[in-house]
Amino acid sequence: MRRSSGVRGVWLLPTGLVVAALASGILAVVGPPPNGPFGVPLIVPVLLAAAFAARVLPGRIGAGIGLLAVVIAVAAAIRFLGADLVGDRSVVEVAVGLVQFAGLGAAAYAAVRQLIARRSDAEGRSHDASRPAQIIGLLGMCAIGAELLAAYDDSTGDPGAVAFALIFFGALYGAPALLARDLVRRCGWGWPSLLLLFAALGTAQACLIDQSMFSVDYQGYEGWQETRQATLIPALGIGATNAYNFIVGHVIYSFAAPVALAEAWVPRRARQPWLGPIGTVVAVLAYGGAAALILSDPESRSGTPPQLAVSAGMVAAFIAAAALIGRRRASGSHRTTEFAGRLPVGPVFAIALLAAVIPALSSEGWGGVLVSLAVTGGFGIAILVTARTRGWSLRHSAVVAFAFLLVRGLLAFTYFPLIGDVAPVPKYAHNTILILVVVATGWLAVRRGAGDGRKEAAHGS
């Protein structure tokens, strides 16, 4: 009985993906043409490729690819079905759309089951009351780091808009950060793999979801056209400054820094997954729903089909690299170096401040892009080498995250929002409150991360 159940479980993920792909293809034939370059037809090859990967690749890797395909498909399917329910569409189209959702739901369930397989509750996660608080805290910090801390739009200083942004951007950035982190922790991978997954998420956000990378004048933000034009690469239709700011910015501020702080809040859970099956499905749906709302905005349809195809290839390449490096680490083939002493935290914090300030103050021309790439890349390599040769810990990761978020928040005092008319009092109140949040969460992470033990040096590499 158990064997037949296992066989059904193995086939459920690819079967659900294939059913969803077929339904998507039918919708492309019987339904109206998609609005914009990102539409239902693009889902078909994505789902079929994911179904093939889920069948031939080892359990958690195939499941992770399948779950990512579900997220992409849900983002487009919600938008399409939403139009059906309010528009003048046939019953057949709506019925096929529901079949598509059923296939995606079955695939998501099967993927989550495979991701958590062979993990006991005692080994996988803690059930004390602090775990939900830790998850909620991470969701909030992702929203703050990604959007609110920079205080660049007209929601600055508006309590209602900020409250909505915490929820919405918590779903858009916090949910995928949780999913990527849990995948890495369940598979026994390390931070290099996690950063590559964050690069995939950042690329997906800037190039496939809001498509701001390709926009000539996104949402009417002041200075957008000038910044893009200063380092425009005509063959790609993007500005190099925007590419750095969007992708690297998302990796650091939207994902990595909040995760580093959140893990240090409760060191004993730093190497454990935090989500169960229900939490994982909720996170997938939250991310897909938030992404679908972004995609429904006409401003988020600026990419051409070749640009979107190349971007999807980059996302796939980042994920493949994360899996390859992670599998090598999990197999024990990477080398670690014994160390005699613990690296002082003070110098790490000071260097991280410089690594955050220099790119932020660099010019928006080619010189600034090259300086920013050199500083960020050099600092990342230095951390990787140091983590393998010295006593790197959760506390060190936390002080680096704290330094970057602190610089982002302090620099927000130096300018007014790039869109809208925000008065000085609510603007500076907004800046002050969020800096206090960063200081409080950073202090908690650094203080509690001090007791994580030297073994985290090997874990974090």
Q: What confidence tens digit (pLDDT) does each residue in 379-391 have?
A: 999 998 888 776 7
Tokens, residue 363: 């010019």
CA distances from 375 to 240, 370, 380, 381, 382 (A): 16, 9, 9, 10, 10
The residues with which 342 forms a beta bridge, in sequence order, are 391
Instruction: Give the pLDDT confidence score for residue 105 in this predicted structure.
Output: 85
Instruction: Give the pLDDT confidence score for residue 122 in this predicted structure.
Output: 41
The residues with which 391 forms a beta bridge, in sequence order, are 342
Query: Does the pLDDT of residue 40 top 90, yes or no?
Result: no
Task: Catalogue the E-assigned strands of 114-170.
Answer: none
Longest CA pairwise span in the chain (Å)? 71
**pTM to 2 decimal places:** 0.73
Query: Mean pLDDT over residues 412-418, rounded?
Result: 90
Q: Tell me how crowded residue 282 is: count the other CB atoms within 10 A of its CB.
A: 15
244: DSSP letter: I
- 356 pLDDT band, cuts 50/70/90, is very high
Q: Comparing 267 with 388, which gets the higher pLDDT?
A: 267
Instruction: Give the pLDDT confidence score for residue 124 in this predicted structure.
Output: 43
CA distances from 72 to 268, 356, 427 (A): 33, 32, 36
Q: Comparing 419 with 373, which gets the higher pLDDT?
A: 373
C-alpha–C-alpha distance, residues 40 and 76, integer Å: 6
Query: Mean pLDDT over residues 173-195, rounded?
Result: 94
Task: Catalogue the E-assigned strands of 117-263.
Answer: 232-233, 238-239
31: DSSP letter: S
Query: Does the pLDDT of residue 421 top 70, yes or no?
Result: yes
In one-letter notation, the amino acid at residue 275 is: L
Crossing angle for the helix pair 91-115 and 175-187, to the nearest 10 degrees: 40
CA distances from 393 to 4, 386, 405 (A): 44, 11, 19
Tokens, residue 28: 């492309």
Query: Does the pLDDT of residue 330 top 80, yes or no?
Result: no
**Least confident interval from 90-99, 164-173, 309-318, 411-420:** 90-99
C-alpha–C-alpha distance, residues 24 and 44, integer Å: 6
- 461 pLDDT band, cuts 50/70/90, is very low
CA distances from 340 to 239, 390, 393, 397, 457 (A): 46, 8, 14, 19, 12
Which residue has 């996302």 as its token pair? 315
Query: In angstroms, what is the C-alpha Rg of the chain?
Result: 22
Query: Mean pLDDT over residues 256-268, rounded?
Result: 94
- Taking all residues of the chain, what is their mean pLDDT, rounded to a whole number? 82
